[in-house]
Amino acid sequence: MVKGELLELKINKSRIQNNIQELGEIGLSEEGGVNRSLASQADAESRNWLKAYWKKYCEIGTFTDAAANLWGDYPYVDEKNLKPIIIGSHNDSVPEGGKYDGALGVLLATEIFQTLVENHVYLKHPLKLISLTGEEPNPYQISTLGSKAISGVVSKQYLAQFKHIETGESLGEAINRLGGNFEKLEEAQWPKDSFSAFIECHIEQGRRLFDSGDPVAVVKKITGIYRELVIIHGQANHAGTTDVFHRKDALLALSWLNIKLREYLKKINISEPVVGTIGFAEVIPNAANIIPGS
């Protein structure tokens, strides 16, 4: 394509759908959900799939930064000294997640790259493609990892405390396994005002678009998340010999709190809904014949 020439381009919708289905096979469970949590085998395989696809069809080399974010650079650029535009999302998923959340944003960005490359379109700004590391909650107990590293809101010292809740592998070891370099984590940070824009197509609205009849929406604000770990102290005792009048059942108190939380949220009358969830619970001592002590 001649530089400066106007050209009307259309993306290939069937190709996008095929790619969504193909990438969605990685980590697919028998129940139909996708399991690609951070640093799992499926996460690694999906990254390899993306790198191979980008190299073959988008004519771009890939680069893994210190935080294991996966990058690609558009090859036809006029003024490489301008601040780049970044497009993409993430490839990991929550347990039994969907084929679209995260992956859709990466694959739409991939389609944009591929369409531009096929037409040899020269761009004014550098264009970068990204698949972020560990954006979803995961067994390492930290989410939005890749974007946190890029924005510099977390330090290597802070992240060093996180470990896989089952295997005990450190987060640093996981990042290194994925091709990152935990010891040089600060190199993944992008200084303020170092890029022109970050554009991400995401599907995180629940059923709101369906209910409103809208096919797409532009996000003006995002949900603020606050988490608190609460310990309820009761008294562990024998389940067979302790009568109901002398029990201090911590699990019963948790159940009561969960109901009261729901009642409170339903009473709040504001323009935007506030939600709350007790999504994790650990019962101690967690035995069938012992009243929960905490």
Tens-digit pLDDT profile for residues 59-115: 888 999 999 999 999 999 988 899 999 999 999 999 999 999 899 999 999 999 999
Same domain, 75 and 186: yes
Residues 6+ apart with CB under 8 A from 201: 89, 104, 105, 108, 109
Last residue of a domain, one of 150, 177, 212: 212
User: What does each C-alpha distance from 144 to 43, 148, 154, 181, 275 come to in angstroms?
Assistant: 15, 6, 11, 18, 20
Whether residue 231 lies inside any domain: the answer is no
Provide φ and ψ at 276, rounded to 5°. -150, 145
Same domain, 258 and 176: no
Same domain, 84 and 117: yes
* Residue 4: predicted pLDDT: 57
Same domain, 200 and 253: no
Q: Which domain holds residue 194?
A: 13-212
Mean pLDDT of 125-148: 95
Same domain, 148 and 28: yes
CATH of the domain at 35: 3.40.630.10
Averaging pLDDT over each range in 137-141, 174-178, 199-203, 267-271, which range is the top one?
174-178
Provide φ and ψ at 85, rounded to 5°. -105, 135
The number of folded domains in the chain is 2
Same domain, 125 and 250: no
Last residue of a domain, one of 173, 196, 212: 212
User: What does each C-alpha distance from 267 to 29, 45, 64, 263, 278 come to in angstroms?
Assistant: 39, 46, 47, 7, 18
User: How far apart (Å, rounded) are the C-alpha atoms in residues 72 and 54?
Assistant: 8
Tens-digit pLDDT profile for residues 49-59: 999 999 999 88
Same domain, 143 and 53: yes
Q: β-strands 70-73, 62-64: how paired?
A: antiparallel
Q: Which of 149, 155, 170 has the alpha carbon at shortest distance from 70?
A: 149
Q: Is 32 left (phi over 0), alpha (psi -120 to 50) or beta?
A: left
- Whether the CB-CB separation of 159 and 171 falls below 8 Å is answered with yes
- Whether the CB-CB separation of 127 and 227 falls below 8 Å is answered with no
Same domain, 255 and 120: no
Residue 263 scores a pLDDT above 60: yes
* Residue 245: predicted pLDDT: 96
Tens-digit pLDDT profile for residues 8-49: 899 999 999 999 999 999 999 999 999 999 999 999 999 999
